[in-house]
Chain A
Amino acid sequence: MSDIILSGRNLSKFYKQRSGKLGLGTTLVKALDNVSVDLRQGTTLAIVGESGSGKSTLARCLLQLQPLDGGEVIFQGEDLAGLSGAKLRAQRRYLQMVFQDPFASLNPRMRIGEIVGEGLLIHQLGDAEERRERVVRMLTRVGLAESDMAKYPHQFSGGQRQRIGIARALVLEPKVVVCDEPVSALDVSIQAQILLLLRELQQEMALSYLFISHDLRVVRHIADEVAVMHRGRLIEQGPVERIYDTPSEEYTRNLLQSIPGRHALAA
């Protein structure tokens, strides 16, 4: 279909793990076992699963942050897995990432202006004046001020740092943004702010999100489609209502049943 912006075909990724007595043997762990996913233009695809299910590996492999052992990633008509060097870097501008830990993902020695503007510099977009304008515009859009450009990350709260991380990803005007657990380190009141901000920005900038999360309540609110991962395999994918109302896999049903407060808070 033409409206698919990012597509992973038969993705495989293996890790070697030491095993046996004294760790002399090795076993092959299938982090991704023949996984195929499609992300539609302008929508949010949530990848859900428990720890070790392969959801973060999938995101990293799609962005070519980790090499694949098999399969292809089609973005704008090109197989990213076959690209390298300058060609891959050129595509990276359109594929950005927002990370989980707003405390670990910002360089403590860089000012906010440098952090948000670094991507523009790397991709040589505009002259110094233009770059500054774009950084200011982006920071203001995510709820920060021009004066914040001269500050350092430690001067901000967790929620504000996540806004900085979002500004850094979006200043490049990407097409696809991978959000890896972007709200799981935040308090619930801050979480709601960031989720609404992400949703507004999606509409304004026609973004497509790949949203990695273990929190099924958050996913229900942000996702259009859901893909459920379990032990490296994608066991179920579909529209969010369909998956939540009539899951076809036993594993998915069990996952949904385990949502805390599901029954008590439903009323």
Chain B
Amino acid sequence: MTALLRIEGLTVTPVNAPDRRLVNNVSFTLEAGKTTCVVGESGSGKSLTALSVMGLLSSQLKLAQGRVIFQGRDLTVLDNEAMRQIRGQRIGMIFQEPMTSLNPVLTVGKQIGETLIVHQGLKGQALKARIAALLEQVGIPASRANSYPDELSGGQRQRVMIAMSIACEPAMLIADEPTTALDVTVQAQILKLLSELKTRMNMAMLFITHDFGVVADIADDVVVMFRGEIVEAGPVASVLQHPQHPYTRALLDCVPDADGKKPLKPIDYAWLNEEVAA
């Protein structure tokens, strides 16, 4: 199996503090038809890793080292114009807040159509038909194309975001905490939808989350990040059932289980620092 995306030695630093490695020498690969979850707490570097892949780092930060090989091309050396061709078309993106990611004064149909006009040059009836098909694919009636974002529920808005992200049938989808702002029943529906689409379209999915429960539901592979570095990576079953790194074990110990059988154990950072140093 050849990798669709290969991240090699990715290192991100603030522009004015080149010694502070916010992401430090991160490497992993993504395969078509598989979901890789990057899991970690705030400040672990998981979102910065995703932003680096898309070339969307803020101007305060820079990619100090590393390559991002996508379908054989190094994305880190592409200029803005070339990168724009890839984003949206070859790599789809979904973010956490569906309300702030949508334009409140445009109908959702218009917003889905934008991608199709820019990247595929669709117009007229063909455009309309494609928008309708996309909405149905994410479980929203096609008539909703004329609705504005505020007329939709949080879950429907996230479905619209998903429709936009898959509009050009990308080879890869990057989802940064796409269900964190949603109610638990809606979250379950969205996770199911993303999994189905991934399989049907044979996409690689890079899924950023802080929630091990979500990881257990959606991941094929897991990458655990801590203080900017990967501490553990592997197939979901082995990482969750037999975590090797002390941080992974400690983090899993503080996740409350749904049956209330496991005692909660906060991370003992003094112990962890010793373990990591050893």
Contacts and interface: CB of A to CB of B under 8 A. Distances in A.
A217 interface: yes
Contacts of B214: 260-261
Contacts of B130: none
Contact of A50 (B184, B254, B256): B184
Interface residues of B, number: 34
Given A51-B183, A260-B211, A216 B264 contact: no
A244 B183 contact: no
Interface string A183-215: 000011111110110000000000000000011
A107 interface: no
Interface stretch (A87-95, A145-153, A251-259): A251-259
Contact of A189 (B187, B217, B251): B251
Given A189-B250, A260-B214, A261-B216, A254 B256 contact: no
Interface centre among B183, B184, B254 (most CB of A within 10 A): B184
Interface string B71-106: 000000000000000000000000000000000000
A50 B253 CA distance: 26
A221 interface: yes
B265 interface: yes
B148 interface: no
A221 B213 contact: no
Interface in B105-157: 154
A258 B182 CA distance: 12
Given A260-B191, A261-B215, A264-B217, A187 B41 contact: yes
Given A192-B266, A260-B216, A187 B42 contact: yes
Interface string A216-258: 1110110000000000000000001100100000000011111
Contacts, number: 106
Contacts of A261: 211-217, 258
A257 B214 CA distance: 13
A266 B258 contact: yes
Given A50-B183, A261-B216, A216 B267 contact: no
Contacts of B266: 189-190, 192-193, 196
Given A261-B216, A261-B217, A220 B256 contact: yes
A220 B255 CA distance: 12
A192 B260 contact: no
A267 interface: yes
Contact of A196 (B215, B217, B260, B264): B264
B184 A258 contact: yes
13 contacts: A188-B212, A189-B251, A216-B258, A217-B257, A220-B260, A244-B259, A256-B258, A258-B184, A260-B184, A261-B211, A261-B216, A265-B257, A267-B241
